Structure 1
Amino acid sequence: MTADPTPLVDPRTYVDGVPYRLLAALRATSPVVWVEEPPLLGLPGGPGFWLVLRHADVTDVLRQPRLFSSWLGATQIRDPATGEDLDYVRRMMLNMDPPEHGRLRRPVARSFNPRAVAAVEASIRANAVMLVEHALGDADEGVCDFARDLAADLPLLTLADVLGVPEPDRWLLYDWSNRVIGFQDPDYAVSAAFDPQAGTEAARAALRHRPAPDPDGRMPDPRTRTGMADLYAYAHLLAESKRRDPGRDVMSILLAQQGDERLATEEFENMFWLFAVAGNETVRNGLPGAMIALLEHPAQMERLRQEPALFDTAVDELLRWWTPVMVFRRTATEDTTIAGVPVRAGDKVVVSFTSANRDESVFVEPDRLDLARHPNPHLVFGHGPHFCLGAHLARCQVRALLEALLASTASVAYAGAPTYLRSNFQRGVKRLPIRWRRR
């Protein structure tokens, strides 16, 4: 009997963890399965989609943008509510196909290459040590929330530096990410962790544009421009500051492109959205995910503590084991096949990174955490022309924080059960209580 893939589209499924057994059963049956989209959590149903499960087929889809488009229907499973909404999100680099995608990517790519990351590595390491020492304090042992006290702030500090956001405003990025990624989770959908009194005048001015919840407590769709009006207001206020005093940060680079009329206003706004939200959220959930991997494998954690050189391969394995971004969507531009399965023009095609990263034909004992795994061709950062710009930066942050924590502690263990995000897109960790003991 064929397994039912319907639970995979329900965000509530992931509150209890990823259904790996279901994915493995589906993967063993067929490389591509059809998934229905019933109405869920107050959102309308959709036409359904093809879910691509195996590593080889996922890479084939991602390397063929002419056949499997990011632009045609954008890259989220759920279709934008209106044609106007689709037109707007199509101006985001993430939702473009070559050559337009390359036009936006090339100017900022140098800010994320290995040389650029090496230039900020010392700052990242210093921030990681600072956060660990602040969380541990002067006590010999204690309890903290790894997700909030450690993993949330490091990518915010890093983005403040790389993107050019004033450090006091960094928790705005946290709220924006919560609202976008946690749109279907009531704990995150109306996030308001930022303290206006601690931020800049630009931040306070932007907050006046923050949309309010409706009578049911629901915020507007964050994929629409009105749903993130405060983010876009802040982007333009920050742009005014950068025009007066440009730097070497990503915002200044973007504005130079806009000044040359190579970057439209909508493209600038969407680029800021992409860096402020996606650049934060993936690392923020990859960090506690990596910690959970070690907590679930204490012998591996101790080995890593004793052999720091193992971090050279461990970071990629920790990210593979967790896989923060579970899926991405493409749209078929013409009738075709995937692994022999017929796909029609206009069909949604969703690649499962979670499934591909546990593909038995690629990874020996894929459910086992092997910190020395090599080679490790995981797809955490995607594949093809949309390979993640921030991959080097993400790896650096994961290594820095875990190195700092393991160097300062003799032991780390669960102090309670993790709490997971209600989302079928991001494998998020809302709370991760840990008990630690100093060296």
Structure 2
Amino acid sequence: MPDQSAPDQSVPDVFDPRIYAAGPPYDAYRALRDHHPVAWQEEYEVLGWPAGPGFWAVTRHADVVRVLKDSASYSSHLGATQIRDPDPADLPFIRRMMLNQDPSPRFAGETPSDHGRLRRLVSRAFTPGRIDRFTARARARARQLLVAARESGPVFDLVHAVTDDYALLNLADLLGVPESDRGLLLKWTERVIAYQDPDEPPVLGPDGRPVNPRSPAMLQEMFGYAQQLAAYKRDRPADDVMTSLATSELTDAELEMFFFLLTVAGNDTVRSAAPGGFLVLAEQLDAQRSLRAGEVDLDRAVDELLRRHPPVLSFRRTAVRDTVLAGQRIRAGDKVVVFHASANHDERVFDRPAALDLARSPNPHVSFGDGPHVCLGAHFARLQLRVLHEEAMAALPPLVTAGEPRRLVSNFINGIKSLPLTAA
């Protein structure tokens, strides 16, 4: 609980998932950065989810980076990485995932090499040859989807016509999931990512209340499939990541958790970032035309679009010990939540952060995190986004919005559910 006698009513609320249906609350973020850089947030009951103990919202870039890098003070292992506390009975299961481990051992059940060993195993699966072949397939897929969208009529929904399939099918190719099973990846991703959105049917427990979609019971179907696919790949090896994982020294439990992480994070990173980047460009037609004219380096442009529309809004850590952050006392056991979208707009780091500067350099955004848990798939996400923009500039005219985007109701994922576009 906070080190204060009563909640400060002047502190803006950045917890409520419903706020994010209108986009990240940048005005609230700025007020927090300027006046309450480490601010206590009440965690009240919302959308059928029970109340929690509250957390510290960290909104300045330097403090976000400090928390992400300092795993000795701010643990991923203690309470996992979501704002909402997991069921204590689920914690041992959740901690099997690399995302919810710390790089140094402090807790029972965690060995010194777990985190680094697992990251190295996954990194080995991304060989240069595999990356080249993946890039060629992603390019052909982008071209096919974009041309079909263009031919469907003067207005098309980028999310439904292009980016959902682009992200999902790229991931399926990378993993080596048979075409007949690819719909399963989308179902599992949406169950985990969209659990706060009232448009998505909740997964209910026996008591009729929503169940955490990351609980063991909710993931058994995915894990069973992962083991079946791994067995298939051992009998019939192919040039894909699942073959590499299935024939590595991963335990069955580690393989299941990697399949979960790659399926959900690998899909939704691009699925969220891609329409967000196109939305930013559609709202800034001069910048879009400058990019199309070759006046801006595309790699820098992709990073600026990621800064403006990070796929992940927030991540949670738990304080290991009493500490002080930006002058605020934090007690051992307190939840500490970093807000990536706020850090990416910090005036202390970025000149005119609200402006789109496709040539921005340096651009130390934290859209893929920082420290020991920096996103393993960042290179692949950037690659897919670059290819998609290259092919869009070749296949489509300059684009503007043809209606309001529909956003995911979530304080975790910066998702767009629908984005109607048309020629400028």
Aligned residue number for residue 187 of structure 2: 175
Query: 1:128 aligned to 2:130?
Result: no
Contact 1:37 1:46 in 2 (8 A): yes
Which of 203, 207, 220 is the aligned partner of 1:229? 220
Aligned residue number for residue 94 of structure 1: 99
Query: 1:250 aligned to 2:264?
Result: no
Aligned residue number for residue 106 of structure 2: none
Which of 173, 192, 214 is the aligned partner of 1:161? 173
Aligned residue number for residue 377 of structure 1: 364
Q: Deviations over 1:68-101 (max 9, x none)?
A: 1111100001000x22211111100111111421
CA distance in 1, matches of 2:207, 2:53: 27
SS where residue 154 of structure 2 aligns? strand
Query: Aligned-pair distance for 1:2?
Result: 6.6
CA distance in 1, matches of 2:150, 2:29: 39
Q: 1:402 to 1:101 in 2, by over 3 A?
A: same
Q: 1:215 to 1:72 in 2, by over 3 A?
A: closer
Query: 1:3 aligned to 2:15?
Result: no
CA distance in 2, matches of 1:113, 1:329: 32
Query: Aligned-pair distance for 1:323?
Result: 1.2
Query: 1:186 aligned to 2:192?
Result: no
Q: 1:309 to 1:358 in 2, by over 3 A?
A: closer
Query: 1:294 aligned to 2:306?
Result: no
Query: 1:353 aligned to 2:340?
Result: yes
Contact 2:150 2:396 in 1 (8 A): no
Q: Deviations over 1:366-403 (max 9, x none)?
A: 01010010110000111011111111111111111122
Query: 1:270 aligned to 2:257?
Result: yes
The total of aligned residue pairs comes to: 408
Mapping for residues 145-156 of structure 1, pairs under 5 Å = 145-156=157-168
Q: 1:187 to 1:300 in 2, by over 3 A?
A: same
Which stretch has the larger CA shift, 125-134 or 281-290?
A: 125-134
Q: Which amino acid aligns with 2:68?
A: L
Q: Which amino acid aligns with 2:315?
A: F
Q: 1:114 to 1:309 in 2, by over 3 A?
A: farther
SS where residue 321 of structure 2 aligns? coil
CA distance in 2, matches of 1:114, 1:159: 17
Which stretch has the larger CA shift, 243-252 or 127-136?
A: 243-252
Contact 1:113 1:392 in 2 (8 A): no
CA distance in 1, matches of 2:201, 2:363: 35
Identical columns (%): 49
Mapping for residues 215-226 of structure 1, pairs under 5 Å = 220-226=211-217
Contact 1:147 1:432 in 2 (8 A): yes
Aligned residue number for residue 198 of structure 1: none
Q: Which amino acid aligns with 1:146?
A: L
Aligned residue number for residue 67 of structure 1: 73
Query: Aligned-pair distance for 1:241?
Result: 0.7
Query: Aligned-pair distance for 1:116?
Result: 4.9
CA distance in 2, matches of 1:189, 1:329: 25
Query: Aligned-pair distance for 1:427?
Result: 0.8
SS where residue 51 of structure 1 aligns? strand
TM-score (norm 1): 0.88
Query: Aligned-pair distance for 1:340?
Result: 2.2
Query: 1:85 aligned to 2:99?
Result: no
Query: Aligned-pair distance for 1:112?
Result: 4.1
Q: Which amino acid aligns with 2:119?
A: R
Q: 1:110 to 1:146 in 2, by over 3 A?
A: same
Q: Deviations over 1:120-178 (max 9, x none)?
A: 212211111111112222x7x51111011111011112111211211332222112111
Which of 373, 378, 384 is the aligned partner of 1:386? 373
Query: Aligned-pair distance for 1:3?
Result: 3.4
CA distance in 2, matches of 1:436, 1:178: 30
CA distance in 1, matches of 2:200, 2:256: 23
Which of 320, 328, 343 is the aligned partner of 2:307? 320
CA distance in 1, matches of 2:393, 2:241: 32
Aligned residue number for residue 241 of structure 1: 232
Query: Aligned-pair distance for 1:425?
Result: 0.3
Query: Aligned-pair distance for 1:45?
Result: 0.9
Query: Aligned-pair distance for 1:364?
Result: 0.2
Q: 1:300 to 1:226 in 2, by over 3 A?
A: same
Q: 1:116 to 1:51 in 2, by over 3 A?
A: farther
Q: Which amino acid aligns with 1:384?
A: G
Contact 1:112 1:393 in 2 (8 A): no
Mapping for residues 327-366 of structure 1, pairs under 5 Å = 327-366=314-353
Aligned residue number for residue 201 of structure 1: none
Contact 1:308 1:403 in 2 (8 A): no
Contact 1:110 1:116 in 2 (8 A): no
Q: 1:287 to 1:114 in 2, by over 3 A?
A: farther
CA distance in 2, matches of 1:247, 1:308: 41
Query: Aligned-pair distance for 1:280?
Result: 0.4
Which stretch has the larger CA shift, 335-344 or 217-226?
A: 217-226
Contact 1:326 1:426 in 2 (8 A): yes
Q: 1:116 to 1:365 in 2, by over 3 A?
A: farther
SS where residue 195 of structure 2 aligns? coil
Q: 1:349 to 1:213 in 2, by over 3 A?
A: closer
Q: Which amino acid aligns with 2:386?
A: R
Which stretch has the larger CA shift, 270-279 or 164-173?
A: 164-173
Aligned residue number for residue 107 of structure 2: none
Contact 1:112 1:390 in 2 (8 A): no
SS where residue 352 of structure 2 aligns? coil
